[in-house]
Chains A and B, each alone.
Chain A
Amino acid sequence: SQKIEQNSEALNIQEGKTATLTCNYTNYSPAYLQWYRQDPGRGPVFLLLIRENEKEKRKERLKVTFDTTLKQSLFHITASQPADSATYLCGCGNNNAGNMLTFGGGTRLMVKP
């Protein structure tokens, strides 16, 4: 069955450094990936979308890559700030009706001042 894996261990980094989060998929060929941010007690909030024919996408301090050979997406936050501390979710989509996504378990990011 299709599987989306994210690092379940929390990622702790120092303020100002670049945070890199990983999303790996198996038994699956997503047409696109979406990244979401989730704060405690809140619903996920959409950040970025990248399509299978795109290698990289940027938005302000955020960058996402999509490598269909490695079956992997990387999510980068440059010049990280304590306010970036949250759980980040990777969701994979397949142009299906309903725009449903298959999600990974999320990675918690802690940025220390």
Chain B
Amino acid sequence: NAGVTQTPKFQVLKTGQSMTLQCAQDMNHEYMSWYRQDPGMGLRLIHYSVGAGITDQGEVPNGYNVSRSTTEDFPLRLLSAAPSQTSVYFCASSRRQGRQPQHFGDGTRLSIL
């Protein structure tokens, strides 16, 4: 079982560049989300989706875009990278029924120079 797959694992960008972080899950989960993890700050929700075609903002959405055209994929786009976006990004998925555990990928480590 692949679970939640994130690519790339590492990326270095220059300020102002754009890029897309990929996330795919093979569990047919309705819910998907993106978190960022910074030292001492825990995981903070960026955007989430409750199904194909439906997305919404989380706690820290500025500077990021998402779309969900299929159940499996939920890419995260950085429009114009800034040093403040240096972080580890985690994608997670869960079943629709409430209180379900989140299944996380192993993260993308992103550095913005």
User: Using a CB–CB distance below 8 Å, which chain A residues touch chain B?
Assistant: 4, 6, 8, 31-32, 34, 36, 41-46, 49, 51, 89, 91, 93, 95, 97-106
Give the interface size bracket for B toward A: 20 to 34
- Tell me whether B42 and A105 are in contact (CB under 8 A): yes
Known: A43-B104, A46-B103, A105-B40. A99 touches B98 (CB 8 A): yes
Within 8 A of A (CB), among B32-76: 33, 35, 40-45, 48-50, 56, 58-59
B58 touches A89 (CB 8 A): no
Contact partner of A32 (CB less than 8 A), chosen from B31, B44, B99, is B99
* Chain A residues with CB under 8 A of B98: 95, 99
Report whether B99 and A93 are in contact in the complex, using a CB–CB cutoff of 8 Å: yes
Given contacts A8-B40, A43-B90, A44-B43, contact A95 B48 (CB under 8 A): no
Q: How far is the CB of A38 from chain B (nearest CB, A)?
A: 9
B102 touches A95 (CB 8 A): no
In the bound complex, do residue A89 and residue B49 qualify as a contact, i.e. CB atoms below 8 Å apart? no
Given A95-B98, A99-B94, A105-B40, do A43 and B105 touch, yes or no (CB 8 Å)? yes
CB–CB B105/A106 < 8 A: no
